[in-house]
């Protein structure tokens, strides 16, 4: 992908039905992409999202990124429909709130689940779609990370570590897959999704007060960052932080 236009490009968004993923899909479709809405569980939400996007030739597909066989199937389906992938966004992830000092509750099963989804899954997705990303002048991979990778503050210790590993993978693969494929991380701070809005209002306001810009990032701004990363063709192996300045606090 050698120009700044996303018109008619093919974008694949993994984890598309979440608050951030859906905003990314809308931003990419608004920029002219044909978008494959990839989900794990909620088919109705994926179909509705694909049907609501501006533009044409959008699709939806069900995938479990912890199962490489389903990723291989996705690659075949995308190859048959589009013939190429220009933009891959790894937006799927999982976590659970565990206080950082509570080492016992962060058990082996939870640690494995987090790394299986937040690191191995994106790697396996890139591995499966690499041949499609290398076509038509090369594509870009955009990994949705978190400022938890840098701050060490997040839902639990393993989550922070998994996002740090994702950023390290971004650097490693940017080097290994160049020049055909660029790899970039987008690292949000606390994003004001419907889930966050449903939590304790006092806690949410405290988070706002700790953010230098005086507000939380909204999902649409993560979509804007993804479009920027997709079109900034000299950028690879880097992390774009979108956090309202929370890392400064």
Q: Which residues are catalytic?
A: 159
Where does residue 143 fall: left (phi above 0), alpha (psi -120 to 50 degrees), or beta otherwise? beta
Query: Under a CB-based contact definition with an 8 Å cutoff, are residues 9 and 1 in contact?
Result: yes
Alpha-carbon distances of 244 from 206, 214, 241, 249, rounded to whole Å = 14, 8, 9, 10
Tokens standing for residue 10: 């093919």
- If DSSP codes are grouped into helix, strand and coil, which group holds residue 53? coil
User: What's the rounded Cα separation, in Å, for the pair 235 and 45?
Assistant: 33
The beta-strand segments (E) located in the chain are 10-14, 34-39, 59-62, 87-90, 140-144, 182-188, 239-242
Q: List the beta bridge partners of residue 61.
A: 38
User: What's the rounded Cα separation, in Å, for the pair 165 and 49?
Assistant: 30
User: What's the rounded Cα separation, in Å, for the pair 30 and 17?
Assistant: 17
- If DSSP codes are grouped into helix, strand and coil, which group holds residue 88? strand
């Amino acid at each position: 992908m050698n120009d700044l236009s996303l018109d008619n490009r093919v974008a694949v968004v993994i984890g598309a039905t979440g608050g951030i993923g859906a905003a990314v899909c809308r931003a990419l479709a608004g920029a002219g992409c044909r978008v494959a809405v990839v989900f794990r569980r909620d088919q109705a939400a994926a179909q509705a999202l694909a049907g609501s996007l501006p533009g044409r030739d959008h699709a939806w597909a069900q995938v479990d990124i912890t199962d490489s066989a389903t990723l291989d199937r996705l690659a075949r389906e995308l190859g048959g429909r589009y013939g190429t992938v220009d933009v891959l966004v790894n937006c799927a992830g999982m976590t659970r709130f565990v206080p950082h000092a509570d080492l016992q509750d962060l058990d082996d099963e939870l640690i494995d689940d987090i790394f299986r989804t937040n690191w191995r899954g994106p790697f396996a997705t890139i591995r499966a779609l690499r041949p499609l990303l290398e076509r038509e002048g090369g594509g870009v991979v955009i990994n949705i990370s978190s400022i938890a990778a840098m701050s060490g503050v997040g839902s639990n210790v393993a989550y922070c570590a998994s996002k740090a590993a994702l950023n390290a993978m971004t650097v490693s693969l940017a080097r290994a897959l160049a020049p055909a494929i660029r790899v970039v991380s987008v690292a949000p701070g606390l994003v004001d999704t419907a889930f966050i809005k449903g939590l304790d209002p006092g806690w949410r306001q405290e988070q706002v007060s700790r953010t230098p810009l005086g507000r939380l990032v909204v999902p649409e701004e993560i979509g804007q960052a993804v479009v920027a990363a997709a079109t900034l063709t000299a950028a690879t192996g880097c992390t774009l932080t979108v956090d309202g300045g929370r890392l400064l606090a």
